[in-house]
Amino acid sequence: MECLIGITGKDFVLMASDNLAAHSIIAIKHDTQKQFELSDKMVMAVCGDSGDMVNYAEYIQKNLKLYEMIHGYKLTPNAAANFSRKVLAKALRSNPYQVNLLLGGVEDCGTPSLYFMDYLASMTKEKFAAHGYGSFFILSTMDRYYKDDMTRDEALDLLKLCIKEVQSRFIVNLNSFSVKFIGKEGITVLENIPGSGTVHKDVPREAIHPELISRA
Amino acid sequence: MSILEYNGASIVAMKGKNCVAIASDKRLGIRFQTVSTDFQKIFPMGKKLYIGLPGLATDVMTFANELKFHTNLYQLQENRELTPKTFLSMVSNFLYKRRFGPYFVEPVIAGLDPTTDEPFIASTDLIGCPMVTDALSCPARAWSSCTVCVRLCTSLTRAQMSCSSASPSVS
């Protein structure tokens, strides 16, 4: 029921993830952060089992930080992706992590890369990728409209088109997505698309408990 | 859909006169959804030795890495390249080691002997049963393309093919 999207452009990666945390049929949280910053130019977006998501992402995050401390330099996105895959593959036959992820990063020279990884630890480098049921809609939209070397505005427009498609045709309501640009200058957090998740959109304000109003 | 057909793959190897050819598709899928159209399934293990790995993509990558590690070690220790026959034994051994929790790959090996340049093709099943064929091709697993592959191959191959005719045949 979750959705992750990644698009690479000329010298940036655009990552988006939905903000919904659900347990079975109940939506627990509308402002979950599913994107973890692995370094100042790398982001990992995860979806899947909620405990494994945080456990795995933080494990990778801290190990990359440790590597930087020991060796004095950061790992490239390619190396980080292969490291992440190795951790997933090693755990697969004993204690598997149920996480699907997208790892997007930009090297110091500006070359962007996006890695798609399955919970089974199969990995590919892609120009655009998506996870979840939304991927069935998103990949078709991207196949039609994606072109190489897009500018940031074009990529953002394409992303908005994909999200619109998901919100229109996917039965689960994903009403807000967190968006991040990763470029040479670092990670830029954009405003959520379409807006912060509203909890009780059509319920009159008077009917809402005062403590919930700040969220509505 | 069995676990070997989850990601989908089609690999074919053919032997000709003083040459071998190996070909694979480049699709990575998750069941019926195509995720990538550029996924590597044939890996070089020597200057004239290649292994094609159809099956579960995660095991393709893990097994290829493991094999590369061991072939590199062999080359450093023995100061020579692996012969295809030895490589087949190595592959068979690694797969049988995991008899009761196997790697879901069914390798296809194609190569020339490093000294005599004799062509060699072979394949194994997922637990390492080696099958060296003097026949002309070794098709391997794929979602519904296996039977098609076998029939196409048997009709397209001829004995003693030269390099130039082997290449279009295998494609």
DSSP-assigned states of every residue in B76-88: HHHSSPPPHHHHH
Averaged pLDDT of chain B: 85
For A123, nearest residue in chain B (alpha carbons): B58
Nearest CA of chain A to the CA of B110: how many Å?
24
For B26, nearest residue in chain A (alpha carbons): A124
> What is residue B135's predicted lDDT score, i.e. its pLDDT?
60
- Residue B39: its chain A contacts at CB < 8 A? 124
For B33, nearest residue in chain A (alpha carbons): A136
User: Which of B7, B27, B30, B99 to probe by mutation at the A interface, max A CB count within 10 Å?
Assistant: B30
The residue whose two tokens read 């992440």 is: A84
Q: In this model, does residue A108 exceed pLDDT 50?
A: yes
Structure pTM?
A: 0.88
Judged by CB atoms closer than 8 Å, whether chains meet at B58 and A89 is answered as yes
Q: What is the pLDDT of residues B83-123, one digit of tens each?
A: 999 999 999 999 999 999 999 999 999 999 999 999 999 99
State how far Cα A34 lies from the chain centre.
6
ipTM: 0.86
> What is residue B8's predicted lDDT score, i.e. its pLDDT?
87
Please, which pLDDT band fits residue A196 given cuts at 50, 70 and 90? low
Averaged pLDDT of chain A: 91
Q: Are B17 and B161 in contact (CB under 8 A)?
A: yes
Judged by CB atoms closer than 8 Å, whether chains meet at A124 and B101 is answered as no
**Count of other CB atoms within 10 angstroms of residue B135:** 14
Closest by Cα among B37, B4, B16, B3 to B146: B4
Distance CA B141, CA B7 (A): 11
Measured between CB atoms, which of B28, B33, B56 is closest to A124?
B28
- Coil, strand or helix: which one is A68? helix
Closest by Cα among B152, B101, B150 to B127: B101
- Residue B60: its chain A contacts at CB < 8 A? 122
Distance CA B146, CA B151 (A): 9
> What is residue B150's predicted lDDT score, i.e. its pLDDT?
54
B167/B74: higher pLDDT:
B74
Measured between CB atoms, which of A93, A116, A123 is closest to B61?
A123
Provide, rounded to the nearest whole percent, the portion of chain A with pLDDT above 90.
Answer: 81
Judged by CB atoms closer than 8 Å, whether chains meet at A116 and B36 is answered as yes
Measured between CB atoms, which of A88, A126, A135 is closest to B36?
A126
Please, which pLDDT band fits residue A150 given cuts at 50, 70 and 90? very high
Q: In this model, does residue B161 exceed pLDDT 80?
A: no
Measured between CB atoms, which of A85, A89, A124 is closest to B35?
A124
**Is the Cα dihedral A166, A167, A168, A171 positive or negative?**
positive
Distance CA B88, CA B97 (A): 14
Judged by CB atoms closer than 8 Å, whether chains meet at A122 and B57 is answered as yes
- Residue A88: its chain B contacts at CB < 8 A? 58
B3 CB within 8 Å of a chain A CB: no
> What is residue B154's predicted lDDT score, i.e. its pLDDT?
56
How is residue A8 written in tokens? 């690479």
Q: What is the pLDDT of residues B9-26, one digit of tens each?
A: 989 888 888 889 899 999
- Coil, strand or helix: which one is A53? helix
> What is residue A35's predicted lDDT score, i.e. its pLDDT?
97
